[in-house]
């Protein structure tokens, strides 16, 4: 399939609050392709839609993305129903261009992370970063939304991450540590990991930011074990992070079987694998669980 290069961006952003791994993005003026596993891609195309209602707004339009379909190398393109008012020929041409770009850039997966602007929830006592709430690209014109609370997992779970059994307890403990009036700051991280609080000259040392996106140093033993169990649970997603040192990866890779059902969703986006045997073993357990219909934690 032919590829029109033009102005093409390809990058990754983290899926945060709850943390679900990384999203791969290929974007052009003609649309964007998104993937959370490096295999299946959602093709989103720009389309105009009317804003407001009534005769006064009949000429008011805005451009928004619509999901044209899903594509993978194995299954091909599966289109979704679209409005008959849209030009299907033009949309198909745009989709074909995106598919060509996906095939062109596939060898470069995972793409470099671009979301170095981070919203951190701070602990009340020592005012240190406690948990990551949101991310954005540093040069974005604005930052949409400002969540006040931290979430451990999606309700009901997803293919890439099942619900953590003790999510409610962990979320309560994080909220308690943040205090009755939680404080959060947008912070721009540099290449060395240090962070400058947006709108000020205050710079926080890289060591103050939790590597696993949630503080692990809890005073109470039960809390430490709860956080430990959670990090074990989301190990497949955490290994998609690109800032991890080898020691961090060596700590996480033996834990992949705690939620091996999600390993297939994430492993292709690991930027580095220290112990291929550990990843292979988790994938084997995953296949056995799927074959037996098992969906319960080990």
Q: Give the model's confidence band at 149: pLDDT under 50 very low, under 70 low, under 90 confident, else very high.
A: very high
Mean pLDDT of 146-174: 88
Co-location of 244 and 271 in the same domain: yes
Confirm whether 132 is domain-assigned.
yes
- Tokens 């099942």 sit on residue: 162
Among the candidates 41, 76, 108, a domain finishes at 108
Confirm whether 2 is domain-assigned.
no
Confidence check: pLDDT of 179 > 50: yes
Rounded Cα–Cα distance for residues 119 and 25 (Å): 21
Among the candidates 156, 186, 218, a domain finishes at 218
Range 132-138, long-range pairs (CB < 8 A, 24+ positions): 132/14, 132/16, 132/17, 132/19, 132/210, 132/213, 132/214, 133/16, 133/17, 133/184, 134/16, 134/17, 135/13, 135/14, 135/16, 137/13, 138/188
The predicted pLDDT at position 257 comes to 83
Greatest mean pLDDT among 48-57, 264-273, 288-297 lies in 264-273
Top-confidence residue, 245 or 65:
245
The predicted pLDDT at position 291 comes to 84
Domain residue limits at 284: 234-298
Rounded Cα–Cα distance for residues 186 and 117 (Å): 7
Confidence check: pLDDT of 53 > 70: no
Co-location of 141 and 126 in the same domain: yes
Rounded Cα–Cα distance for residues 27 and 275 (Å): 33
pLDDT in tens, 78-101: 998 876 656 678 889 999 999 999
Find the largest Cα–Cα distance for the chain: 65
From the list 167, 184, 173, the residue with the least C-alpha distance to 215 is: 173
Backbone angles phi, psi at 204, to 5 degrees: -100, 135
Q: Annotate 15-33 with b (16+ C-beta within 10 A) or e (fewer).
A: bbbbbbbbbbbbbbebbbb
Q: How many helices (H) does the chain have, and how many strands (E)?
A: 7, 11
Question: What is the dihedral angle through the alpha carbons of 113, 117, 123, 126, rounded to the nearest 10 degrees?
Answer: 110
Are 82 and 67 in contact by the 8 Å Cβ rule? The answer is no
Q: Would you tell me how many other CB atoms lie within 10 Å of the CB of residue 49? A: 12
Confirm whether 227 is domain-assigned.
no
pLDDT in tens, 224-283: 999 999 999 999 999 999 999 999 999 999 999 888 778 999 999 999 999 999 999 999
- Tokens 């679209």 sit on residue: 82
Co-location of 171 and 100 in the same domain: no
Mean pLDDT of the residues in the chain: 88
62-71, 197-206, 236-245: which range is least confident on average?
Answer: 62-71
Co-location of 24 and 79 in the same domain: yes
Please give the structure tokens belonging to residue 298: 């080990």
Q: Would you tell me how many other CB atoms lie within 10 Å of the CB of residue 238? A: 22
Confirm whether 224 is domain-assigned.
no
Q: Give the model's confidence band at 296: pLDDT under 50 very low, under 70 low, under 90 confident, else very high.
A: very low
Co-location of 45 and 90 in the same domain: yes
Top-confidence residue, 205 or 154:
205
The predicted pLDDT at position 2 comes to 41
Confirm whether 27 is domain-assigned.
yes
Q: How far apart are the first and last CA of the chain?
A: 44
Confidence check: pLDDT of 6 > 50: yes
Top-confidence residue, 199 or 241:
241
pLDDT in tens, 7-28: 899 999 999 999 999 999 999 9
Q: How far is CA 212 from CA 64, 69, 235, 244, 265, in A?
A: 34, 34, 9, 9, 19
Q: Would you tell me how many other CB atoms lie within 10 Å of the CB of residue 248? A: 16
Co-location of 291 and 263 in the same domain: yes
The predicted pLDDT at position 49 comes to 57
Confirm whether 223 is domain-assigned.
no
109-123, 172-186, 277-291: which range is least confident on average?
Answer: 277-291
The predicted pLDDT at position 251 comes to 96
Strand partners, 23: 13
Q: Give the sign of the dihedral formed by CA 45, CA 51, CA 54, CA 57.
A: negative
Co-location of 177 and 203 in the same domain: yes
The predicted pLDDT at position 228 comes to 96
């Amino acid at each position: 399939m032919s590829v029109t290069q033009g102005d093409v961006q390809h990058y990754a952003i983290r899926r945060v609050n709850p943390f679900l791994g990384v999203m791969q993005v290929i974007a052009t003026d003609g649309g964007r392709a998104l993937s959370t596993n490096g295999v299946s891609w959602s093709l989103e195309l720009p389309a105009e839609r009317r804003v407001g209602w009534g005769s006064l707004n009949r000429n008011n339009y805005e451009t928004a993305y619509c999901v044209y379909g899903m594509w993978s190398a194995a299954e091909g393109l599966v289109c979704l129903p679209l409005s008959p008012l849209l030009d299907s020929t033009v949309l198909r041409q745009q989709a074909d261009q995106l598919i060509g770009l996906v095939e062109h850039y596939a060898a470069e997966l995972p793409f470099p992370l671009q979301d170095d602007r981070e919203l951190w929830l701070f602990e009340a006592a020592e005012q240190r970063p406690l948990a990551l709430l949101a991310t954005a690209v540093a040069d974005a014109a604005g930052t949409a939304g400002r969540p006040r609370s931290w979430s451990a997992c999606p309700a009901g779970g997803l293919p890439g991450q099942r619900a953590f059994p003790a999510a409610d307890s962990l979320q309560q403990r994080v909220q308690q540590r943040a205090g009755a009036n939680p404080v959060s700051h947008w912070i721009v991280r540099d290449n060395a990991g240090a962070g400058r609080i947006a709108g000020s000259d205050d710079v926080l040392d890289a060591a103050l930011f939790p590597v696993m996106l949630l503080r692990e140093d809890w005073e109470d033993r039960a809390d430490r074990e709860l956080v430990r169990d959670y990090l074990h649970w989301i190990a497949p997603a955490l290994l998609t992070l690109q800032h991890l040192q080898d020691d961090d990866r060596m700590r996480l890779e033996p834990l992949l079987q705690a939620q091996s059902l999600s390993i297939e969703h994430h492993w292709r986006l690991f930027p580095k694998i220290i112990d291929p045997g550990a990843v292979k073993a988790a994938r084997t357990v995953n296949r056995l669980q799927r074959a037996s219909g098992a969906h319960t934690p080990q």
